[in-house]
Amino acid sequence: MRSGSFPASGGRRPAPRAIARRLNELTRPVDPEAKAAIERRWQELPEHVRTPAQTLGKVGVGCEGTHGVFPRCNFACRPCYHSKEANQVRTDGAHTVAEVRSQMRMLRSLRAPFAHAQLIGGEASLLEPDDHAEAIAAMREAGREPMSFTHGDFDYQYLERLALGPDGRPRFDRLSFAGHFDTTMIGRRGLRRAETEVQLDPYRHRFAEMFRRLRKEHGIGFFLAHNMTVTPANVGQIPGVIARNRRAGFGMFSFQPAAHVGDERRWKENYRSLDPDAVWALIEEGAGSRLPYHLFEVGDTRCNRTAWGFYVGDRWHSVLDENDPRDLAARDAYLEELGGVHLNAPLHLLLPRLVRLALARPHLVGTALGWLARTVRRVGGPVAILRGGVYPTTFVMHRFMHADDVKPAWEALERGERLRDPRLREVQERLMACSYAMAHPESGKVVPACVQHGVLDPEENRLLAELLPLPRRKAAPAETA
């Protein structure tokens, strides 16, 4: 049933009272179930992240991801976060769809009626287009906003087959993809191994261009994120990656300092040497602006730094002025009063919900208009906006934790034990505040992503290799005399 439709009742038209009740439910600004889930999340958070800027437990419950659904990849990256058993598992569409549906249903029942979720594992484009589309649809059925993770090394024909049904009509009005591009990757067609990040720029642009073509030809919108693993070898190239590609079509640039997770055979450098402040400073250099990540926090800032903003012309601006008390008050109003409002809902539902919210809380209208007026002045006025255009761009840094730290810290948390070792105590604190969850329907547990990748993946992939073994190659026929 489509969102916002009325259920049929034996072919009869619904009674006026039923119509009114349904309209009230559809246009209700705050979803009571979502509000309750968000409040539970706040109570679950450790005290050290309950800051005025915290978004978890205020406007959302955090992101989610899949696991064990298609662990195989056709690249040989160094480092690689997947366990060495991952490439022994065949990609199977029926398994993927069934597992995605099961995991998303569990997250829907335990966490919140809507959230952002990542279709992630190995390489998403190894799925047949129909299976990929069915997995996306299953996530949306569970109230999730899905984002497919990929190395981007596929053709437009694949994207089109994913986006369109057998009748040639769009299956989706919008697609979200995260494309991963960096010099740690080995196997890309036309550039098996890049020596410098600049060599990958044509592939970055080609990836984004496929989605622009899809929008032009079929009217399907898109959101693209750019992911980059950061190592001591490529960290200095971050500013150039941003400067050269910020107009390519990516709405987010996400950087992940490498961690010792996954296949240890592919660890070649000392990733502990990557200082988070130094990495963030290079991201700021590429953005051409200071990136204030304490305006909005997503879990523990030792794990996540996020700066929301937009370019006007060549200059990046934060959505809020961190030095203006009026902007901070606007932020506080947003965090305190918009929790439970589904801002990613279809426009025909979002608009009446916002109108009802404005009627119920008219002070929010003045707060929003004041913020808008200040922001327009801050970026140079309407003329600057018309001349330069507005390009929303978010910058993110995700710091995953090393597997040899996560394992003892998680095992102690499972026993209810808080460790005294400062490094492991930090790991425990970060795990307790994790913003990225994965579901295990077989056990009823929801675990942090670092636990999934650093602790659970090897055994899970070993079992999957038995369940979904790769097809054996046929032996070559013996030559006859």
Q: What is the pLDDT of residues 245-264, one digit of tens each?
A: 999 999 999 999 998 776 66
301-323 CB burial, b ≥16 within 10 A, e <16: bbbbbbbbbbbbeeebbbbbbee
Q: How confident is the model at residue 474 (pLDDT cuts 50, 70, 90)?
A: low
pLDDT over 70 at 356, yes or no:
yes
pLDDT value of residue 475 = 53
CA angle 157, 162, 164 (to 5 degrees): 90
Whether this model's pTM surpasses 0.85: yes
List the end-to-end C-alpha distance of the chain, in Å, as a whole number: 67
Burial of 245 per CB tally in 10 Å (0-12, 13-18, 19+): buried
Sketch the domain layout of the chain as residue ranges. Answer: 62-288+401-467
In this prediction, residues 114-131 reach a mean pLDDT of: 97
Q: Which amino acid is at 131?
A: D
- In the chain, the percentage of residues whose pLDDT exceeds 90 is 83
**How far is the C-alpha of 232 from the C-alpha of 181, rounded, in Å?**
16
* The pLDDT value given to residue 272: 76
More confident residue, 269 or 259: 259
pLDDT, averaged across the chain:
93
Confidence of residue 343 (pLDDT cuts 50, 70, 90): confident
Using the predicted structure, report yes or no on whether residue 39 has a pLDDT greater than 90: yes
Indicate the residue type of 67: H
pLDDT of residue 205: 98
Q: Half-sphere exposure of residue 394, counting CA atoms within 13 Å on the CB side?
A: 17
Q: How far is CA 436 from CA 72, 111, 192, in A?
A: 21, 12, 31
Q: Residue 477 pLDDT > 80, yes or no?
A: no
| Per-residue pLDDT tens over the stretch 142-156 | 999 999 999 999 999
pLDDT tens-digit readout, 418-432: 999 999 999 999 999
Q: Give the mean pLDDT of 346-360.
A: 91
Torsion from C-alpha of 253, 255, 261, 262, nearest 10 degrees = 40
Query: Which of 77 and 329 is assigned the larger pLDDT?
Result: 329
pLDDT band with cut points at 50, 70 and 90 for residue 11: low
Q: Which amino acid is at 292?
A: P
* Beta-carbon count within 10 A of 254 CB: 18
- pLDDT recorded at residue 480: 44
> What confidence tens digit (pLDDT) does each residue in 387-401 have?
999 999 999 999 999
Contact yes or no for 283/397 (Cβ under 8 A): yes
Q: What count of other Cβ atoms lies within 10 Å of the Cβ of residue 343?
A: 11
Q: Any idea which fold 62-288+401-467 has?
A: TIM Barrel (3.20.20)
If you average pLDDT over residues 308-329, what whole number do you get? 98
Q: pLDDT digit string (tens) for 53-107?
A: 999 999 999 999 999 999 999 999 888 877 788 999 999 999 999 999 999 999 9
> The tokens of 200 are what?
């990958």
